[in-house]
Amino acid sequence: MDYKPVGVGKTVRNARRGLPEAGYWKKFQSPVLVKEYGMVTSLEFSPIKPHDLLVTAAMRLQVYNGRTSQLKKAITRFHGQARSGSYRSDGKLIVAGDDTNIVQVFDGASRSVLRTFKGHQDPVHVTRFLPNNVHVMSGSDDKTVQIWDIPSQKAVNVFSEHTDYVRSGCVFAGNANVVATGSYDHTVRIWDVRANRCVTTIATDEPVEDVMVLPGGSVAAAAAGPNVHMFDLLMGGRVLTTLGNHEKTVTSLCMDSAGGRLIAGSLDHHVKIYNVQSFKMMYSMAYPAPVLSVALSADDTRLAVGMASGVFSLRRRAVSAKEQALAAPAQRARLGTHAHFTRGAAYKGGDDDLRIEQRRKRSLADYDQFLRKFEHSRALDAVLANNRTGLTVVSLLQELVHRDGLAGALAGRDELGLDTIVRFVVKFIDHPRYTSVLIKVAETLLDIYGDLLHQSGRIAELLVRLRAKVRTELRLQQDLTMVIG
């Protein structure tokens, strides 16, 4: 039977602010502040690497390089305030609306206008590509939602059930037949493109500033006033919970790539991160101006926040080498090639490879080696001689108690051997976690050496200190008992 090493107990730590979740978001450091030509009303990262940032501000769209964060290109083909710049899923096309009531589709490389959709009567605040990449959704202050066909440049659907401005909208990932919009008429509506009608209407208490559907398509989040409402779409829009951690209107929502964190920006100058499983706020960031838009890159390394002051902030998270290795696709060498035979010791094997587990022999500490040979006295000397932590020494003493070897380990010691163990007892006798074990050690010492301790001045002095410490602890316990009653 293998020898089982002494189990050193672990200290219990109190929960602190430095939780792993907070540590993750704190890594978004060194914010770069960029001044734009007007309020930054929309931000979106390209879904394709290097994830360029598309900024909508004033009468232009600005594209910033995903690697250098420098201005890459600007699209200025607008005659009014630009709105809701958005990428297609392949990153090749960009769509945007403006205050002249039109929707334009641009070539992401040449910046040329490919399509212009005219049909709205008021400014267009919402534009999105549908997942089929051939249709565009738009929402306008004329209270309508329209679906445009890119090849024919015509509207294939017009929804007019909203009774106030349509200021937000989103598509369902992987489903080009359903879209969602939010309006200042205090409703979120789900539209079926095939049936050309509204299939679900969800009422809110305040105007809807932003709406998004979580991955899976069964839960929707809507920003209305200072709250973010979570709705179960499979239950007809039943309210799951309301996130009310903001003090002013929530203006923008986005998700991380895994779909586990919801990021909300508000006019109260804060961006807050929520866990969508527990619906708890996990972290908060403060900004110098009211927040109008937020966006997180697809690789979760850059967080962009647009503000009403005309400035947007770009924070970057440093990625460790381990995380990069996990994210990189594994390149498996073909069987029989030179690369296959020179894979090296770091190669972990493929998913279909048979792995033979090899247990590495664990080296024992010096005191464990003595315990294995039942040399209890030498084990105690070893653990005391090498300046180990109090928890390690007490764990070994506890093991000796369990083995009925404490008396044998303490017996037959000279003045120097007693001095070390008595000093340890004096130092830690009042430690709450060690008291019960060290009382047994002190009683055993007195039983063995009680008639001889007066012969050593050094040991006698330590015993006087031990008695004083025990009396102080007893008085403290009596005072606490009186306070408790």
Whole-number pLDDT of residue 220: 95
Give me the residues paired with residue 444 across strands.
none
Whole-number pLDDT of residue 18: 42
Contact at 8 Å (CB) between 250 and 291? no
- Tell me how far apart the alpha carbons of residues 102 and 122 are, in angstroms, rounded to a whole number: 9
- Tell me how far apart the alpha carbons of residues 70 and 53 are, in angstroms, rounded to a whole number: 10
Whole-number pLDDT of residue 402: 87
- Tell me how far apart the alpha carbons of residues 386 and 367 are, in angstroms, rounded to a whole number: 10
Peptide bond into 5 cis (omega under 30): no
Residues, the chain: 485
Whole-number pLDDT of residue 345: 65
Q: Enumerate residue ranges in the chain where pLDDT < 70.
A: 1-4, 7-19, 323-336, 340-341, 344-361, 453-454, 485
Contact at 8 Å (CB) between 200 and 237? yes
Indicate the pTM of the whole model.
Answer: 0.67
Q: Does residue 270 come out as left (phi exceeding 0), alpha (psi in the -120 to 50 range) or beta?
A: beta
Q: Which residues, other chains included, contact 191 with Cβ-Cβ below 8 Å and sequence gap of 6+?
A: 145, 157, 159, 178, 179, 180, 181, 197, 198, 199
Q: How many CB atoms lie within 10 A of CB 247?
A: 11
Whole-number pLDDT of residue 224: 96
Whole-number pLDDT of residue 14: 41
Whole-number pLDDT of residue 352: 61
Whole-number pLDDT of residue 273: 96
